[in-house]
């Protein structure tokens, strides 16, 4: 079980709990504003872009080359950008805070 906190662009914080799936799916299920997941999680739309808090960066696996390439073309990219469909829910990410980029 992991607790995941989303912070939207209008600074609304929502904390949800999950055990499986990926972060984008979790955000869409919980109607987190700014995470649309238009491609269904196949890393081809970047509508699931989030910024990971620096202190949480090492909790998640490294992005793949495909994910890095997708992020290159998105707006508002930072060194802590990730596509949330590529982050799996697991105990390892318990307590993570993600700022919605869009």
Kindly list the residues in this chain that would bind ligand FES in the complex (CB under 6 A): 24, 37-39, 41, 43-48, 83, 85
Q: What is the rounded CA–CA span in Å between residue 51 and residue 102?
A: 10
The strand pairing partners of 50, in sequence order, are: 82, 100
Q: Closest separation between CB of residue 82 and ligand FES, Å?
A: 9
- Nearest residue (CB) to ligand FES, 39 versus 97: 39
Q: Residue of minimal CB distance from ligand FES?
A: 85
- Nearest residue (CB) to ligand FES, 46 versus 60: 46
- Nearest residue (CB) to ligand FES, 55 versus 69: 69
Q: Closest separation between CB of residue 98 and ligand FES, Å?
A: 13
- Nearest residue (CB) to ligand FES, 1 versus 32: 32
Q: Closest separation between CB of residue 71 and ligand FES, Å?
A: 9
Q: Are 22 and 96 in contact (CB under 8 A)?
A: no
Q: What is the rounded CA–CA span in Å between residue 27 and residue 85?
A: 10
Q: Are 27 and 4 in contact (CB under 8 A)?
A: no
């Amino acid at each position: 079980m992991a607790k995941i906190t989303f912070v939207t662009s209008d600074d609304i914080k929502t904390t949800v709990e999950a055990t499986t799936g990926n972060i984008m799916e979790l955000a869409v299920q919980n109607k987190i504003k700014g995470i649309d997941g238009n491609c269904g999680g196949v890393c081809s739309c970047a509508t699931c872009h989030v910024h990971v808090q620096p202190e949480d960066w090492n909790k998640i696996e490294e992005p793949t080359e495909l994910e890095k390439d997708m992020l290159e073309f998105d707006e508002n990219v930072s060194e802590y950008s990730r596509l949330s469909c590529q982050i799996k829910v697991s105990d390892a990410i318990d307590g993570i805070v993600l700022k919605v980029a869009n």
